[in-house]
Amino acid sequence: MRALKWIGITIVALLAVATAAIVIGLYLTRPEPPPENSQSAAGLDEGPYSVGQAEFDWVDTTRPTPPNGDYAGSDERALPTVIWYPEDFEGSAPLVIYSHGFRSDREGGAYIAEYLASHGYVVASARFPLSNGSAPGGSTINDVPSQPGDVSFLIDQMLSLSGDDKPFTAKLDADRIAAIGLSLGGLTTTLTTFHPEWRDPRIKAAVSMAGPADVFGPEFFDTSDAAYLVISGTEDAIVPHRTNSAPIPGKLSSGGLLEIEGGTHAGFADLMSGPVRLLGNPDELACSVVEFNTDGHPFDGMFGGPELGLVSPDEYVPACSFELGDAISAGRQHMIAKLAIRALLESAFAETEEGRRQSQTYLTDTLPSDFPETRYLPAQR
């Protein structure tokens, strides 16, 4: 009995030491905030509204889910959706559709959705049928051409909410609809905004975070005048910055690129700002646990050819195929992403011309001043 008692005491002591080490580690690795009393510091505050949340099990019965591995497919598309909204908000609210990344899920951008909802936006995010982390037959990128249709379906469902089915008091403004996404969701966002055959003209603003983009030629972006922003980290190991995002300004006639020196791919993910950050570089962790295809370009020819503005890249750099440099913290990336996304949306949706102009100036000038690792590169076409 005495031995068991000492074993118990030892286990409790070890757990206490481990807990203390984690707490200290989290404190020491906390992200550095922007300068005190800066516009960015104030902008990071949650908005005036409490955030509500609702879930819907929506199904698109007009489009199929293709077979995938041992999954036989379906003649419909299940799109379980979560909505974040400002509570007790009676005015007109913009609608934002968030698209998650490969092997992620609908809550992958929760930190962005909650932040926007607190400032008067309604945000909806669905679990895509075959690219989510628990997809039947295994997660696949092959269903991406169907995902722009999923985004349009979500817009339809959101705009049709009424009566007891509508969980929020705000009135959705059909003229203020935006799409944002991370990684494969960023690709989906770009396709939904600009693809000549799949685009949804209701989208008036769009943000792609670390989305693959090397298959898009300059003409691809001529189909829409939506406000458009790409956010990318220079140390992205999954969607390499040099071949995907860095060329974007030269392809655009409006919009631009927000480049984050030391930013990573997984650093944009909601999960990476918590205790997981103690494991080090987010992309080193991602590359160690996820197997990426390196046999050939995964999207070359998937979305069409030159007649649609698509190109075959001159150079393809596979994921996790090069040595990683120093990375900034995921928490710091989250700050930058939230501020940049809201600024882009307000540059298109603010109620006054002066408000739209100030938001654009914040994005292009003030944000890079408050976060020296960022650089805004405007369209060059």
Rounded Cα distance between 260 and 375, Å, is 7
The 10s digit of each residue's pLDDT in 216-236 is: 999 999 999 999 999 999 999
Predicted confidence at residue 5, as pLDDT, reads 56
For a pLDDT cut of 70, what percent of the chain falls above it? 90
Q: What is the 3-state secondary structure (H, E, C) of 278-327?
A: HHCCHHHHHHHHCCCCCCCCCCCCCCCCHHHCECCCCCCCCCCCCCCCCC
Predicted confidence at residue 3, as pLDDT, reads 58
Query: In this model, does residue 16 exceed pLDDT 50?
Result: no
**Average confidence score pLDDT of the chain:** 92
Q: What values do phi and psi take at 133, rounded to 5?
A: -70, -15
Predicted confidence at residue 118, as pLDDT, reads 98
Q: Domain coordinates of the chain in residue numbers?
A: 45-378
Question: 199 pLDDT band (50/70/90 cuts)?
Answer: very high
Mean pLDDT value of segment 53-63: 98
Residues β-bridged to residue 182: 209
**Does 144 or 27 have the greater pLDDT score?**
144
Residues β-bridged to residue 125: 82, 98
- Please write down the long-range contacts of 224-228, taking CB distance under 8 Å and 24 or more positions apart: 224/193, 224/194, 224/199, 225/254, 226/193, 226/194, 226/348, 227/254, 227/255, 227/344, 227/345, 227/347, 227/348, 228/193, 228/252, 228/254, 228/255, 228/256
Rounded Cα distance between 278 and 272, Å, is 9
Q: Which CATH code, of 3.40.50.150, 1.10.630.10, 3.40.50.1000, 3.40.50.1820, is assigned to 45-378?
A: 3.40.50.1820
Residue indicated by tokens 């580690």 = 25
**Does 79 or 27 have the greater pLDDT score?**
79
Rounded Cα distance between 315 and 56, Å, is 42
Predicted confidence at residue 295, as pLDDT, reads 76
Predicted confidence at residue 33, as pLDDT, reads 87
Predicted confidence at residue 28, as pLDDT, reads 37
For a pLDDT cut of 90, what percent of the chain falls above it? 84
Runs of H (alpha helix) within 80-163: 110-118, 147-160
Rounded Cα distance between 108 and 90, Å, is 28
Neighbours of 280 (CB within 10 A): 11
Residues β-bridged to residue 55: 82
| Residue 218, CA distances (Å) to 42, 75, 149, 179 in order | 37, 36, 23, 20
CA atoms within 13 A on the CB side of 274: 4
Predicted confidence at residue 24, as pLDDT, reads 39
| Contact of 219 with 307, CB cutoff 8 Å | no
**Does 3 or 275 have the greater pLDDT score?**
275
Minimum mean pLDDT range among 54-58, 193-197, 275-279:
275-279
Structure tokens at 175: 């003229």
Of 220, 207, 205, 160, the residue nearest 181 (C-alpha): 207
Query: In this model, does residue 95 exceed pLDDT 90?
Result: yes
Predicted confidence at residue 30, as pLDDT, reads 61
Question: 13 pLDDT band (50/70/90 cuts)?
Answer: very low
The helix/strand/coil state of 93 is: strand
Mean pLDDT value of segment 105-125: 97
Query: In this model, does residue 167 exceed pLDDT 90?
Result: yes
Predicted confidence at residue 278, as pLDDT, reads 55
The 10s digit of each residue's pLDDT in 290-329 is: 777 667 899 999 999 999 999 999 999 999 999 989 999 9
Residue indicated by tokens 């510091």 = 41
Predicted confidence at residue 19, as pLDDT, reads 41
CA 379 to chain CA centroid, Å, is 21
Predicted confidence at residue 20, as pLDDT, reads 39
Residue indicated by tokens 């009135």 = 171
- Residue 12 belongs to what H/E stretch? helix 2-28
Question: 23 pLDDT band (50/70/90 cuts)?
Answer: very low
Rounded Cα distance between 333 and 324, Å, is 17
The 10s digit of each residue's pLDDT in 339-368 is: 999 999 999 999 999 999 999 999 999 999
Rounded Cα distance between 96 and 10, Å, is 51
Mean pLDDT value of segment 249-268: 97
Rounded Cα distance between 379 and 89, Å, is 36
